[in-house]
């Protein structure tokens, strides 16, 4: 009998839609920088629940559903893959493995006589493209059809040489990750730089692979798991690579100086029977805890090229390979206390305080409890021994109490009756409780967020100064900043004439920020920096945003059906704040954007026609260090500048790239742009081109 792993149970269409959006958002975060709020097991359970609901209600299937899609539908990057980089389907036990193997052999019409058994490395899949033996480009998996160019990481990845032993043109595929030692060194460098550390090896590797502006370099590790000859190449080597068994191909890869798992305790083997496959699975699983790098399963595939060709592919995965998923890492520790914190939007969130325990390579002292309903469902008590659960690279959570270890001294968890921050009443009508004062409860946190560099960018307005203004009754929200007078500021302690004038000038500059930043400063739940830019460019004006209903909001790229109503409700709640911003003269339009046409309504004449913008229709990539007028801009600010001027900001050079802005040390992106005939300009020329938007 096949083991049936647990899955999320979805009660109705609304729960299904919410689950789909959660899965899509989690996959996007996971494949972008490893910061998904769901661990691997929770994500797998969620997707299995979605699949079960879709099988029972085929009429309700949403186009955005992650089922049947590579990387759960997460789209990252615009460099096309020569051959799709597909995901693997999963099994969760020996019976499921046997069922899968039996189905494969029925499809083939004969037994599989050679199985390749390898570890499933817990990192990020990438494509390494070698031309005449030289490493020319690195591309992430992205959505399987296209990925992100991360060639700037060349030279920082152990196991991925700049040159192969032979001057051949091939594409290697493998996993980029951080070993335990590399993770410790990376954390030490980050600690020395800004006092923080990375959360875990996978997110550290994801962030490091994409980072271009860090003042320190972190080392990564590469393990190859496949190789592709160029399409149409009929050379002797290309023919061999298409016909050799997978195991022999990997031996050839190792002869080229590329790292494989061959020298590790979990080296790939060839098994002639499924029984031997099961034995090797058990051996790799047993070695997992002692490995210097993370694995989250075992990959079983047909070793013979003929079997692979005959089995073929589904839309998202090869039929000749499967991932045998290992149980998520978990430990038992003691629940010492529960802390209740109010976030900047008023959401009240509990956090478990744990007896420190090492979990998946890091010491855990806190874990997520989500909400009161979550605590109640789990039946937790202070003093409980609890199972703390983490699947490789995510925030730990308390899974359940170990009831048989209770001594009778455990105490109920005290549920707050009033807001833990301000003492006002709690709105418990939703599963996620909220202070009735909403953002007003944590005004200081909301204002700090609103004035940050990536929002209104009011220089010189530190948290202690904001607190001083709140205590003096000068402000109650960030809109009040725009009505402050020179006399009011001078009356504050340690506010001299120069600092007062500088702050007033910064506040005045903030009035001219684009709508995308103003909208981001509002802190609308369910949105962030990139979503705020999409909302602003879609609607062009704050009036258009406020007039939109949930259906209209949902037309914004990436806005799911469960987020849209939240945004509408949030905008109603934020109406008084927005009115104050309008009255203060804060800009409420997005440069270069045109509001969507409505019946009987003409587009706003305040927005410049797209065709008149200097970068209209251009895909622009920025690389290297900016100088001159652009020298102080961050990459995010450069992307905003490009979009204001009508262009589309991209992170990688491709045939679709219209313009490359190349600063000092432009590196591989400049070389690729030259090879593709892409127009290249220096920062000074680009600054002149977009001077009206600086």
Query: Does the residue 665 lie in any domain?
Result: yes
Domain co-membership, 110 together with 241: yes
Q: Where are the beta strands (DSSP E) in 294-328?
A: 295-302, 321-325
The SS3 assignment for 27 reads: helix
Per-residue pLDDT, 390: 62
Domain co-membership, 25 together with 137: no
Task: Using the CB atoms, write b or e for 438-477: b if 16+ within 10 Å.
Answer: bbebbbebbbbbbbeebbbbbeebeeebbebbbeeebbeb
**CATH at residue 573:** 1.10.150.20
The length of the chain in residues reads 694
> In this structure, how many other beta carbons lie within 10 angstroms of the beta carbon of residue 324?
24
Domain co-membership, 532 together with 574: yes
Domain co-membership, 567 together with 630: no
Query: Does the residue 1 lie in any domain?
Result: no
First to last CA, the chain: 66
1 pLDDT more than 50:
no
Nearest to 377 by CA among 352, 408, 398, 349: 398
Domain co-membership, 156 together with 232: yes
**512-529 residue pLDDT tens:** 999 999 999 998 987 877
Kindly report the backbone phi and psi dihedral angles of residue 251, in degrees, each rounded to the nearest multiple of 5, phi listed first. -65, -40
The SS3 assignment for 411 reads: strand
* Cα 425 from Cα 401, distance rounded (Å): 30
- pLDDT band at 57; cut points 50, 70, 90: confident
Domain co-membership, 201 together with 255: yes
**579-609 residue pLDDT tens:** 999 999 999 999 877 777 654 444 443 444 5
Are the C-beta atoms of residues 532 and 519 closer than 8 Å to each other?
yes
Spatial strand order of the sheet with 295-302 comes to 90-91, 321-325, 295-302, 115-121, 269-271
Write out the two tokens for 164.
């192969």
**417-441 residue pLDDT tens:** 999 988 889 998 888 898 988 877 8
Domain co-membership, 617 together with 602: no
Active site residue 334: no
Computed over every residue of the chain, the mean pLDDT equals 85
Per-residue pLDDT, 533: 86
Domain co-membership, 183 together with 253: yes
Domain co-membership, 259 together with 314: yes
Query: Does the residue 430 lie in any domain?
Result: no
List own/partner pairs for 433-439 with CB under 8 A and 24 or more apart. 433/347, 433/348, 433/371, 433/372, 434/345, 434/346, 434/347, 434/348, 435/342, 435/346, 435/348, 437/346, 438/345, 438/346, 438/573, 439/344, 439/345, 439/346, 439/477, 439/523
**214-228 residue pLDDT tens:** 888 899 999 999 999
Query: Does the residue 424 lie in any domain?
Result: no
Last-in-domain residue among 277, 293, 325: 325
**CATH at residue 352:** 2.40.50.140
Write out the two tokens for 561.
């059906």
Domain co-membership, 20 together with 65: yes
User: How many helices (H) and strands (E) are present in the chain, helices listed first?
Assistant: 23, 25
Nearest to 135 by CA among 673, 667, 676: 667
Query: Does the residue 498 lie in any domain?
Result: yes
Q: Where are the beta strands (DSSP E) in 563-688?
A: 619-623, 648-650, 659-662, 679-681
3-state helix, strand, coil in the chain (%, to 5): 40, 20, 40
Are the C-beta atoms of residues 385 and 333 closer than 8 Å to each other?
yes
Domain co-membership, 105 together with 145: yes
**CATH at residue 673:** 3.40.50.10190
Average pLDDT over residues 343-368: 83
The Cα angle at residue 474 between residues 473 and 477, in degrees rounded to 5 = 95
Cα diameter, the chain: 88
**70-122 residue pLDDT tens:** 555 554 557 888 888 888 998 988 889 999 999 999 999 999 999 999 999 98
Last-in-domain residue among 510, 537, 556: 510
Nearest to 343 by CA among 430, 439, 422: 439
555 pLDDT more than 80:
yes
The Cα angle at residue 330 between residues 329 and 335, in degrees rounded to 5 = 150
Domain co-membership, 290 together with 230: yes
Query: Does the residue 570 lie in any domain?
Result: yes
Of the listed ranges 110-124, 453-467, 615-629, 651-665, the one predicted with least confidence:
651-665
Q: Which domain holds residue 141?
A: 90-325
Are the C-beta atoms of residues 671 and 621 closer than 8 Å to each other?
no
Are the C-beta atoms of residues 108 and 311 closer than 8 Å to each other?
yes
Query: Does the residue 417 lie in any domain?
Result: no
**CATH at residue 51:** 1.10.287
Query: Does the residue 229 lie in any domain?
Result: yes
Question: Of the residues 69, 120, 325, 563, which is catalytic?
Answer: 120
**CATH at residue 132:** 3.30.470.30
Number of domains the chain contains: 6
């Amino acid at each position: 009998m096949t083991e049936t792993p647990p899955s999320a149970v979805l009660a109705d269409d609304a729960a299904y839609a919410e689950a789909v959006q959660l899965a899509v958002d989690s996959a996007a975060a996971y494949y972008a920088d490893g910061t998904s709020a769901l661990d691997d097991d929770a994500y797998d359970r969620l997707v299995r629940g979605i699949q079960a609901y879709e099988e029972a209600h085929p009429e309700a299937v949403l186009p955005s559903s992650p089922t049947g899609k590579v990387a759960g539908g997460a789209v990252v990057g615009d460099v096309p893959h020569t051959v799709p980089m597909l995901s693997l389907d999963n099994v969760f036990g020996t019976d499921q493995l046997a069922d899968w193997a039996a189905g494969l052999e029925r499809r083939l019409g004969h037994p599989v006589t050679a199985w390749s058994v390898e570890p499933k490395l817990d990192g990020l899949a990438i494509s390494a493209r070698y031309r005449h033996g030289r490493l020319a480009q690195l591309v992430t998996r992205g959505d399987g059809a296209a990925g992100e160019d991360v060639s700037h990481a060349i030279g920082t990845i152990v196991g991925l040489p700049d040159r192969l032993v032979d001057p051949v043109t091939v594409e290697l595929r493998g996993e980029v990750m951080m070993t335990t030692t590399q993770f410790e060194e990376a954390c030490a460098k980050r600690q020395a730089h800004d006092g923080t550390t990375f959360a875990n090896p996978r997110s550290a590797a994801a962030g490091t692979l994409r980072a271009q502006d860090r003042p320190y370099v972190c080392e990564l590790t590469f393990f190859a798991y496949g190789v592709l000859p160029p399409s149409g190449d009929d050379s002797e080597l290309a023919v061999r690579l298409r016909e050799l068994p997978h195991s022999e191909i990997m031996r050839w890869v190792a002869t080229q100086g590329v790292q494989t798992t061959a020298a590790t305790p979990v080296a790939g083997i060839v098994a002639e029977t499924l029984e031997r496959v099961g034995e090797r699975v058990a051996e790799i699983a047993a070695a997992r805890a002692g490995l210097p790098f993370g694995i989250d399963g075992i990959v079983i595939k047909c070793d013979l090229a003929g079997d692979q060709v005959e089995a073929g592919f589904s839309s998202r995965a090869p039929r000749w390979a499967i991932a045998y998923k290992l149980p998520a890492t978990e430990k038992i520790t003691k629940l010492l206390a529960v802390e209740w914190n109010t976030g900047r939007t008023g959401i009240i969130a509990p956090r478990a305080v744990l007896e420190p325990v090492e979990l998946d390579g890091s010491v855990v002292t806190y874990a997520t409890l989500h909400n009161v309903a979550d605590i109640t469902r789990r039946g937790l008590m202070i003093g409980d021994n609890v199972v703390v659960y983490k699947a490789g690279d995510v925030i730990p959570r308390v899974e359940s109490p170990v009831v048989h270890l209770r001594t009778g001294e455990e105490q109920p968890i005290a549920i707050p009756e009033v807001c833990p921050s301000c003492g006002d009443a709690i709105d418990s009508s939703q599963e996620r409780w909220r202070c009735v004062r909403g953002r007003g409860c944590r005004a200081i946190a909301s204002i700090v967020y609103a004035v940050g560099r990536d929002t209104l960018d009011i220089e010189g307005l530190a948290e202690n100064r904001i607190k001083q203004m709140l205590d003096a009754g000068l402000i109650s929200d960030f809109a009040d900043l725009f009505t402050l007078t020179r006399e009011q500021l001078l009356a504050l302690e340690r506010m001299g004439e120069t600092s007062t004038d500088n702050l007033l000038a910064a506040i005045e500059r903030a009035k001219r920020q684009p709508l995308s930043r103003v909208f981001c400063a509002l802190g609308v739940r369910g949105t962030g920096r990139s979503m705020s830019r999409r909302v602003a460019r879609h609607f062009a004006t704050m009036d258009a945003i406020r007039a939109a209903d949930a259906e209209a909001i949902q037309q914004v790229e990436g806005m799911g059906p469960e987020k849209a109503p939240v945004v509408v409700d949030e905008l109603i709640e934020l109406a008084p704040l927005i009115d104050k911003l309008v009255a203060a003269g804060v800009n409420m339009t997005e440069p270069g954007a045109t509001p969507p046409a409505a019946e009987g309504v003409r587009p706003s004449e305040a927005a410049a026609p797209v065709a008149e913008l200097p970068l209209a229709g251009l895909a622009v990539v920025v690389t290297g260090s900016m100088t001159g007028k652009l020298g102080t801009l961050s990459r995010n600010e450069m992307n905003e500048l490009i979009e204001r001027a009508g262009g589309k900001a991209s992170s990688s050079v491709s045939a679709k790239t219209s313009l490359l802005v190349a600063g000092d040390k432009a590196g591989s992106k400049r070389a690729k742009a030259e090879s593709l005939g892409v127009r290249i300009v220096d920062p000074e020329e680009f600054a002149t081109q977009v001077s009206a938007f600086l």
